[in-house]
A and B are shown apart, each in its own frame.
Chain A
Amino acid sequence: MTRKITFGSVFLYGTLAVLALLFLLPAYMAAVTALKMPADISLPTAWEFPTVINWSSFSQAIDLLKPNFVNSIILTLCATAGSTILGSLNGYVFSKWKFYGSEVVFTLFLFGMFIPYQVILIPLFQTLRAMNLYGGLPGLILAHIVYGLPITSLIFRNFYSQIPTALIESGRLDGAGFFSIYFRIVFPLSIPGFVVTSLWQFTQIWNEFLWGICLTRHADNPITVGLAQLAGGQAVSWNLPMAGSIMAAVPVLAIYIFLGRYFIRGLLAGSVKE
Chain B
Amino acid sequence: MREASRDRIKAFLTLLPSIVLIAIFVYGFIGNTIWTSMTDWGGSGSLALEPEKNFIGFDNYVELFTGFLSSGFRQDLVNAVYYSVMLLAGAIGLGMFIAILLDRKPKGEDVLRTIFLYPMSLSFIVSGTIWRWLLAPQGGVNILPTYVGMDPLTFDWLSSTASILDFNWQNLFQILLYVAAFILILVGLWSLKGDSRRAVKRWLGPGIVIGAFAWLGGSLLPQALFMEETHGFNLATLGIIMATIWQYAGYTMALYLAGFNGISQDLRDAAMLDGASEVGYYCHVAIPMLKPITISAVIILSHISLKMFDLIFAMTGPDNAETGHPALNMYLTTFRANDFARGAAIAIVLFLVAAMFIVPYLVSQYRQRKRG
| 8 Å CB interface, B331-372 against A | 331, 334-335, 340, 343-344, 346-348, 350-351, 354, 358-359, 362-363, 365-366, 368-370
Q: Is the interface of B mostly helix, strand, loop or mixed?
A: helix
A188 vs B32: C-alpha distance in the bound complex, in angstroms?
41
B303 A272 Cβ-Cβ under 8 A: no
Within 8 Å by CB of B127, from A26, A42, A150, A242, lies A26
- Chain B residues with CB under 8 A of A25: 134
Query: What is the size category of the interface that chain A forms with chain B?
Result: 35 or more
A249 B246 Cβ-Cβ under 8 A: no
A53 contacts B by Cβ under 8 Å: no
Within 8 Å by CB of B126, from A99, A120, A227, lies A227
B26 contacts A by Cβ under 8 Å: yes
A55 contacts B by Cβ under 8 Å: no
A257 B251 Cβ-Cβ under 8 A: no
B255 A272 Cβ-Cβ under 8 A: yes
Within 8 Å by CB of B130, from A29, A86, A127, A203, lies A29
Interface string of B132-144 (1 = CB under 8 A from A): 1110111110011
A52 contacts B by Cβ under 8 Å: no
Residue of B nearest to A107 (CB): B366
A51 contacts B by Cβ under 8 Å: no
- Chain A residues with CB under 8 A of B217: none
B164 contacts A by Cβ under 8 Å: no
The segment out of B58-66, B233-241, B307-315 that lies at the interface is B307-315
Residue of A nearest to B9 (CB): A178
A249 B126 Cβ-Cβ under 8 A: yes
A43 contacts B by Cβ under 8 Å: yes
B126 A111 Cβ-Cβ under 8 A: no
A167 contacts B by Cβ under 8 Å: no
A103 B366 Cβ-Cβ under 8 A: yes
A164 contacts B by Cβ under 8 Å: no
A29 vs B134: C-alpha distance in the bound complex, in angstroms?
8
Within 8 Å by CB of B3, from A105, A177, A271, lies A177
* Contact A122 B340, CB 8 Å, known A26-B134, A272-B293: yes
- Chain B residues with CB under 8 A of A193: none
A20 vs B98: C-alpha distance in the bound complex, in angstroms?
10
Interface string of B243-263 (1 = CB under 8 A from A): 000100011001100110000
B18 A207 Cβ-Cβ under 8 A: no
Q: Which residues of B contact A (CB under 8 A)?
A: 3-4, 6-8, 10-12, 14-15, 17-19, 21-22, 25-30, 32-33, 36, 49, 98, 101-102, 104, 106, 112, 114-127, 129-134, 136-140, 143-144, 147, 246, 250-251, 254-255, 258-259, 292-293, 296-297, 299-300, 303, 306-307, 309-310, 313-314, 317, 327, 330-331, 334-335, 340, 343-344, 346-348, 350-351, 354, 358-359, 362-363, 365-366, 368-370
5 A-B pairs besides A23-B250, A43-B138 with CB distance below 8 A are: A30-B133, A99-B12, A120-B26, A147-B25, A264-B254
Q: Which residues of A contact B (CB under 8 A)?
A: 12-13, 15-16, 19-20, 23-27, 29-30, 33, 42-44, 46-47, 86, 89-90, 92-94, 97, 99, 103-105, 107-112, 114-124, 127, 129-130, 143, 146-147, 149-150, 153, 172, 175, 177-179, 203, 206-210, 213-214, 224, 227-228, 231-232, 238, 241-242, 244-245, 248-249, 252-253, 255-257, 260, 263-264, 267-268, 270-273
